[in-house]
């Protein structure tokens, strides 16, 4: 019977598909050939089921047949590699990590999950050659266990003593991965579980932290156990094959029919409006914010210049608003619809959780564990309540937003990980409600260094207005009542997700006409400086405009950025600047509100106060409170303004009070 099975398997590898795969493996220098489980089922159902039930017995037969076929076609390569394995993949169903039980031991199973950590690659002893220290006999054993004793009669009385002959032993690359359950598979209120996956040979370094993978392997017991044999042992998955499912966006398989449908959708002039309406349809209004979130999902084109400088294409958006303005709903929606989205909340996030952590693995070595922004690489990282994060943790976001990398130097590990993601964040105003009479930076408890890295910032204000309130209330009630009108999105979420993934293949290029529109807007805004002496826009916003225009072209599946795209980018930027880049004291546009934290009008008053203190200090050794206030009131400042500026300067450490009623420059 074994003969016939071996003959049958030899016939299996003589099929054109597998001969082709073997030759490809030889060309690329691999030691494995992928085998689809469905092909095995069609070829010999009985054998396929045995491979699944008793892989330790039947997989070697499959490996042997593959090696024989290799020997037939490429004898030199076969002699060189000495072992050739089959990587069985595509089992009919995968088992959730939390459903793995003792009945699955020594069976071939498949699991889906996210790689959260990966150890360094180390050599593993597969076939060891041991030399007897007394007589020099060499014994070859599978694995790394020494022979019990030497077979030479002269050595039988002596204690066995062997040494490893490295030159004649066979080593394989070895790595341990931690694979965690996917967030969408988690039952309510449960912590995600992790299983260790041991990877050998060709599958080492196939998956990095953050990748979604399907692992096919044999569930095994680890050698570690407690003091008593009856104590529970740890299980691990001995990988037979690993398929990355989300390295890029290829995980969403797009069929030719769907591709044709997307092109037809893009040809419709109303398509862009339909895309906007498909973003969070359960929220009434907020069209401009939905449009900004949509452009964030599509993103611009990242560029690498000849000198090696990389410019990000991802769009960052910040929403600041009163409680109850549907910020969190928008954020959750974006995380779900993005082909790769990670949602976190500020209060429960640390710097290590957002970037990367160095942890000690079971072997005592240090490994990197990926955080939210690394897991969201090539996707969207959503951070709710970013203002509630501790300041020292928030600093970690600077590098992610500007350079799109995470650099870490801890415990001897110096590494830079990719975090090429868009950041969509939300914050509440510091005093609970947004105060229009205070500058933007005083309303939000966020550092200027972070604010200036966002492409678009919008303020959502909850202002009672009879017409809008009626619309919103009718919409909310209709969502809840039986028989109410449920607003169906024009484009279903699963189609929209694939549409976004498909659009990422397009690399839109800026046309001369579109570039002129953006440049003209930039120059017009800069020209405001001559009239008002305020800087209304900087080069950072010009780059943001280009990114937004490219994202609009991508949303319409176009290879070029048209004037129309540029005008949409300008419209959104104007809206954003009108809400946040305004000096509330003069009503003039002033980007320094975000860039430096102090609008020009405040800076002028600060320098006036400093000058007066300096003059009085030179005359009397200090500035007297009464004389200072009198002088400043004559210069046109009100009493309230003077008190506010003095308090602020004491807080910032620019001046101090050597005695009550006196001020000196620090």
Render pLDDT for 568-618 as a digit per residue (tens, 0 to 9).
Answer: 888 888 888 777 654 434 444 545 544 444 445 566 667 777 777 777 777
Tokens read off for 375? 């897991």
Give the residue-averaged pLDDT of 505-512: 85
End-to-end distance of the chain based on CA atoms, in angstroms? 94
Q: Is the predicted pLDDT of residue 480 greater than 80, yes or no? A: no
pLDDT of residue 110: 92
Q: Which residues lie across from 129 on neighbouring strands?
A: 140
Half-sphere exposure of 473 (CA within 13 A, CB side): 7
**pLDDT tens digit sequence for 111-124:** 988 887 787 788 88
Class of domain 256-502: alpha beta
**pLDDT tens digit sequence for 268-317:** 888 888 888 888 777 777 788 888 888 888 888 888 888 877 888 888 88
Q: What is the dihedral of CA 259, 260, 265, 269, to 10 degrees?
A: 120
pLDDT of residue 216: 92
pLDDT of residue 2: 45
Tokens read off for 272? 């862009």
Q: What is the mean pLDDT of the chain?
A: 78
pLDDT of residue 590: 47
Q: Which residues contact 429 (CB under 8 A, 6 or more apart)?
A: 320, 321, 322, 435, 443, 444
Domain with CATH 3.30.1640.10 in the chain: 2-89
180-194, 358-372, 400-414, range with the lowest pLDDT: 358-372
Give the residue-averaged pLDDT of 149-172: 81
What's the CA gap between 444 and 320, in Å, rounded?
8
Domain with CATH 2.40.50.140 in the chain: 97-244
pLDDT of residue 362: 63
User: Fold for domain 97-244?
Assistant: OB fold (Dihydrolipoamide Acetyltransferase, E2P) (2.40.50)
Q: Which of 404, 308, 396, 301 is nearest to 352 (CA)?
A: 396
pLDDT of residue 486: 62
Strands (E), 94-245: 108-118, 122-132, 138-142, 162-164, 170-180, 194-200, 212-221, 235-244
Q: Which residues contact 97 (CB under 8 A, 6 or more apart)?
A: 111, 113, 179, 180, 181, 193, 194, 195
Looking at per-residue pLDDT, the higher value among 100 and 347 belongs to 100
Give the residue-averaged pLDDT of 229-252: 70
Crossing angle for the helix pair 539-555 and 512-532, to the nearest 10 degrees: 150
The CATH architecture annotation of domain 2-89 reads 2-Layer Sandwich (3.30)
pTM score: 0.68
Domain with CATH 1.10.10.10 in the chain: 600-665
pLDDT of residue 251: 46
Cα four-point dihedral sign 250, 252, 253, 256? negative
Tokens read off for 646? 């003095």
**pLDDT tens digit sequence for 360-400:** 766 666 777 778 878 777 788 888 888 888 877 778 788 88
**pLDDT tens digit sequence for 162-173:** 888 888 888 888
What's the CA gap between 310 and 293, in Å, rounded?
24
The verdict on domain 600-665 having CATH code 1.10.287.610 is no
């Amino acid at each position: 019977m074994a003969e016939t099975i071996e003959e049958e398997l030899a016939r299996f590898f003589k099929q054109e598909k597998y001969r082709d795969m073997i030759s490809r493996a030889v060309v690329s220098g691999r030691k494995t050939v992928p085998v689809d489980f469905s092909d095995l089922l069609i070829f010999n159902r009985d054998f396929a089921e045995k491979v699944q039930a008793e892989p330790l017995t039947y997989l070697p037969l499959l490996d042997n047949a593959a090696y024989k076929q290799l020997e037939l076609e490429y004898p030199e390569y076969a002699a060189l590699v000495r072992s050739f394995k089959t990587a069985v993949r595509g089992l009919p169903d995968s088992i959730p990590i939390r459903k793995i039980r003792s009945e699955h031991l020594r069976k071939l199973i498949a699991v889906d999950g996210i790689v959260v950590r990966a150890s360094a690659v180390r050599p593993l002893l597969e076939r060891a050659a041991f030399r007897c220290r007394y007589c020099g006999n060499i014994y070859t054993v599978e694995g790394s266990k020494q022979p019990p004793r030497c077979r030479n009669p002269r050595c039988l009385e002596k204690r066995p003593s062997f040494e490893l002959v490295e030159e004649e032993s066979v080593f394989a690359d070895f790595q341990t991965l931690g694979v965690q359950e996917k967030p969408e598979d988690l039952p309510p209120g449960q912590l995600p579980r992790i299983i260790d996956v041991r990877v050998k040979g060709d599958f080492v370094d196939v998956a990095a932290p953050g990748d979604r993978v399907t692992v096919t392997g044999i569930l095994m017991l680890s050698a570690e156990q407690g003091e008593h044999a009856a104590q529970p042992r740890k299980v691990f998955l001995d990988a037979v094959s690993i398929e990355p499912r989300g390295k890029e966006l290829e995980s969403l398989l797009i069929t030719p029919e769907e591709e044709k449908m997307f092109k037809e959708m893009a040809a419709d002039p109303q398509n862009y409006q339909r895309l906007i309406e498909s973003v969070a349809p359960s929220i009434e209004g907020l069209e401009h914010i939905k449009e900004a979130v949509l452009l964030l999902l599509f993103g611009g084109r990242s560029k690498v210049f000849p000198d090696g400088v990389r410019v990000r294409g991802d769009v960052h958006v910040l929403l600041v608003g009163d409680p109850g303005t549907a910020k969190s709903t928008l954020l959750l929606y974006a995380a779900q619809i993005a082909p790769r989205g990670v949602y976190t909340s500020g209060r429960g996030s640390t710097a290590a959780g957002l970037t990367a952590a160095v942890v000690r693995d079971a072997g005592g070595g240090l490994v990197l564990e990926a955080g939210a922004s690394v897991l969201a690489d090539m996707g969207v990282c959503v951070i709710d309540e970013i203002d509630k994060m501790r300041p020292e943790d928030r600093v970690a976001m600077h590098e992610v937003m500007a350079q799109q990398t995470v650099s870490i130097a801890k415990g001897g590990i110096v590494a830079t990980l990719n975090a090429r993601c868009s950041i969509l964040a939300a914050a509440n105003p510091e005093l609970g409600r947004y105060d229009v009479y205070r500058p933007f930076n005083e309303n939000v408890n966020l550092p200027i260094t972070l604010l200036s890295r966002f492409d678009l910032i919008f303020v959502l204000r909850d202002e009672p207005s009879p017409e809008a309130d009626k619309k919103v209330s009718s919409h909310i009630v209709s969502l809840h009542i039986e028989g109410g009108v449920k607003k169906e999105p024009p484009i279903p979420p699963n189609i929209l997700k694939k549409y976004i993934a498909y659009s990422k293949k397009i690399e839109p290029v800026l046309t001369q006409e579109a570039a002129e529109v953006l440049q003209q807007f930039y120059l017009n805004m800069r020209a405001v400086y001559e009239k008002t002496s305020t800087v209304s826009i900087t080069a950072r916003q010009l780059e943001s405009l280009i990114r937004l225009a490219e994202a609009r072209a991508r949303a319409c599946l176009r290879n070029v950025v048209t004037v129309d795209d540029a005008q949409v980018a300008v419209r959104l930027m104007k809206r954003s600047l009108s809400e946040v880049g305004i000096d509330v004291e003069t009503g003039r546009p002033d980007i320094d509100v975000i860039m430096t934290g102090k609008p020009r009008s405040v800076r002028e008053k600060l320098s006036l106060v400093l000058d007066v203190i300096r003059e009085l200090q030179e005359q009397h050794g200090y500035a007297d409170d009464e004389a200072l206030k009198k002088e400043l009131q004559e210069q046109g400042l009100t009493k309230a303004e003077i008190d506010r500026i003095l308090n602020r300067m004491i807080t910032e450490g620019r001046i101090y009070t050597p005695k009550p009623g006196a001020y000196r420059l620090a």
